[in-house]
Amino acid sequence: MKVVFDTNVLVSALIKAGKPRELILKIAEGKAQLVLSRGILEELLEVTEHPKMGRYVDEDDVIAFLRVLGAIGKMVRVRSKFKVIKEDPDDDVILRTAKDGRADYIVSGDKHLLSLGEFKGIKILSVDEILKLLKELD
């Protein structure tokens, strides 16, 4: 099973314990393959460089998290250029990564993505929904 995490899921996993971090741990255990792209990692870095993030994590935390992602994720080259989410064009990088990485699922907390439900055969689930699915597969 291949999954793409929206940046909001990655940021949540980085800054606090909870379900998004639990999901990262399941990926690390081999329950699914995390698919990443340069665009997703660039967006993650952009978010972590925001001054507000300093309350939650420091540079060492971000570096350690990126190392974990590098170890458990598979980088794909994104060639798609389609535009789908007019309200938030940044979300298109998630859809492009999922399509070009042949993902089965996108995991997001973003209402623009979740409202699609599915994109080109790729199901779009919340963190709770994917955790439930992974439990059922155990």
CA atoms within 13 A on the CB side of 72: 23
Q: Give pLDDT tens digits for 41-99.
A: 999 999 999 999 989 999 999 999 999 999 999 999 999 888 887 777 678 999 999 99
pLDDT for position 102: 97
Could you give the angle at which helices 19-28 and 59-72 cross, rounded to 10 degrees? 40
pLDDT confidence of residue 65: 96
Q: In CATH, what number is assigned to the domain containing residue 106?
A: 3.40.50.1010
Nearest to 128 by CA among 4, 33, 23, 55: 23
For the residues of 38-87, what is the DSSP string, one character each? HHHHHHHHHHHTSGGGGGT--HHHHHHHHHHHHHHEEE----------SS
Interior CA angle at 90 toward 54 and 5, to 5°?
70
Question: 12-28, pLDDT tens digit by residue?
Answer: 999 999 999 999 999 99
pLDDT at 112 over 90: no
| Number of structural domains the chain divides into | 1
* Tally of CA atoms within 13 A in the half-sphere of 12 that contains its CB: 18
Domain containing residue 13: 2-137
DSSP designation for 102: T
